[in-house]
Amino acid sequence: MTDYDKDLRSIQQARRMVTAARDAQREWAWANQAQVDKVCAAMADAAYQASERLGRMAAEETGFGIPEHKKLKNQFGSKHVWESIKDVPTVGVIDHDPVNKLYKIGWPMGVVAALTPSTNPTSTVMNKILMSVKARNGIVIAPHPSAKNSCLDTTELMAKAAVAAGAPEGLIHCMSEISLPGTNELMSHKYTAVILATGGSDMVRAAHSQGKPAFGVGPGNVPVYVDRSADLERAAKYIVGSKAFDHSVICATEQAVIADRPIANRLRELMKAEGAHFVNPVEADLLREILFWPNGTINAASVGKSPQYLGAMAGFSVPDSARILVAELTRIGRDEPLSREKMTTVLGFYEAEGWEAGCDKCVDMINFGGRGHSVLLHAENEEIIMSFGLEKPVFRIGVNTMGTLGMIGMTTGISPSLTLGSGGIGGAITGDNITVHHLLNIKRLAFETSSPPPEAFLPSSVPAGSVHGPSVSELENIVREVVLEVLKS
């Protein structure tokens, strides 16, 4: 089998699936709210019941993360996400403003092209299917090749539950013939209405280049500042636990601690007690070598791995008690690879004198590789907390919470989602956590609330036959003068 044959099959599959989804969506667009909610509830329940099996399958297929943590993410992507959107009206009149005589009417977009990552494959599939179908859209999943089987299993399970609950056949699909030309065909197809891309920067750029509405996410190089006013025991527990969660494959995971100098030593000791293993300078150099290629891209073999696995890759021993590895750093930028986003169990550690200096280091990290995404803060000083909220160039500021679970909305009031927008400064259309509202068009039925001004009905004051602007001969003279000036110069 040649690559050419594979590409052709992938392109043809994309065409078949998006066409079938479009046909089914035209029928689904006439479903009432009760029918929509019945189907979504059935899908959420089916996915939730399979959370453990699918989590184990995703970990085994990709080699990333921890099965028990993927189970928790699956439960989040199914039940938790559904609970957050189940009462959102999406059919017919969804809002009425009697004062302004305005009705808002929900309207589906059509077919969603959903690109999903290898790091959070099954949970992202659950999340995207639920919010797409809730808005009465069809959906075609394009999984990362290394997570194809687990994504396909998840999609088929949810599609079967949807049909059993009353959805039309063909509303939900997942590609099994995967190639770049096939994914591009899916995104560019005339029946694709909107693109929902979760993955690497190259994928997101491709999604935004299609000339269609696209929701994409950028990298999350998330700093966490720990102030002298913080509850240090809680901060240490949350930082280590968050960085260790599923071996750090969620994009909102903490990438470097920035510790206020007076409490830095105490924070180190508390983090060690939670399972943080601080590496020495030689070991840090070995990590720099194995985590990134010379061009700065991450070595996929290191993604989502345990500290012990990384130590073996790099050639040094790591105690069994270690949950994460921590490297002491002083620089941020291209000459310090460990200041990049690290989708694995390696955390940077900086010191800063006072919150203003800590603030500056956070901004340096964000500008280097995470504009618009997230920042974490452990503090009790309300002035500092509000300053971080007002000044940081990100759209999620987590206060005294875990980056992983807080920024996806499991432990905070942020909208539950596994697709986190990075806003205009991060190259995305929104800084929101993407949810059903982003996949729903709103029609507005508006009645007159005030009479037009009398001037709107006055006859034109321009005499009949009059001409606005220069005449043809005047235009010719203007052009002639411009040309002569150009020739003189």
For 455-489, what is each residue's pLDDT tens digit?
888 876 655 555 567 777 777 787 777 777 766 65
Give the pLDDT confidence score for residue 109 in this predicted structure.
97
Question: Which CATH architecture fits 3-217+435-443?
Answer: 3-Layer(aba) Sandwich (3.40)
Reported as a pLDDT band with limits 50, 70 and 90, residue 388 is confident
pLDDT tens digits along 19-64: 999 999 999 999 999 999 999 999 999 999 999 999 999 999 999 9
**Residue 465, pLDDT score:** 57
Give the residue-averaged pLDDT of 276-296: 95
Residue 25 carries which side chain, given as an amino acid letter? Q
In this model, does residue 205 exceed pLDDT 80? no
pLDDT bin (cut points 50, 70, 90) of residue 266 is very high
Q: Which CATH fold would you assign to the domain 222-408? A: Aldehyde Dehydrogenase; Chain A, domain 2 (3.40.309)
The fraction of the chain above a pLDDT of 70, given in percent, is: 96
Classify residue 364 as exposed, middle or buried by CB count within 10 Å of its CB (0-12, 13-18, 19+). Answer: middle
What percent of the chain shows pLDDT beyond 90?
80
Per DSSP bridges, beta strands 440-446 and 102-108 are antiparallel
Average the pLDDT over 243-261 and give the result: 96
pLDDT tens per residue, range 297-316: 899 999 999 999 999 999 99
User: Which ranges in the chain are annotated with CATH 3.40.605.10?
Assistant: 3-217+435-443
Residue 106, strand partner residues? 92, 442
- Would you place residue 424 in the very low, low, confident or very high pLDDT band (cuts 50, 70, 90)? confident
- Mean pLDDT confidence for 156-184: 97
pLDDT over 80 at 184, yes or no: yes
Q: Given the structure tokens 């800063």, which residue do they identify?
A: 352
Q: Which of 40, 151, 174, 251 is catalytic?
A: 251
pLDDT confidence band for 321 (50 / 70 / 90): very high
Residue with tokens 């329940």: 45
Active site residue 251: yes
Residue 219 binned pLDDT confidence (cut-offs 50, 70, 90): confident
- Do 328 and 265 contact (CB within 8 A), yes or no? no
Greater confidence (120 vs 475) lies with 120
pTM: 0.90
List the end-to-end C-alpha distance of the chain, in Å, as a whole number. Answer: 63
d(CA 401, CA 235): 8
Contact by Cβ (8 Å): 323, 344: no
What is the per-residue pLDDT for 464?
57
Average pLDDT over every residue of 143-172 = 97
Sequence ranges of the chain with CATH classification 3.40.309.10: 222-408
**Cβ contact 243:254 at 8 Å:** yes
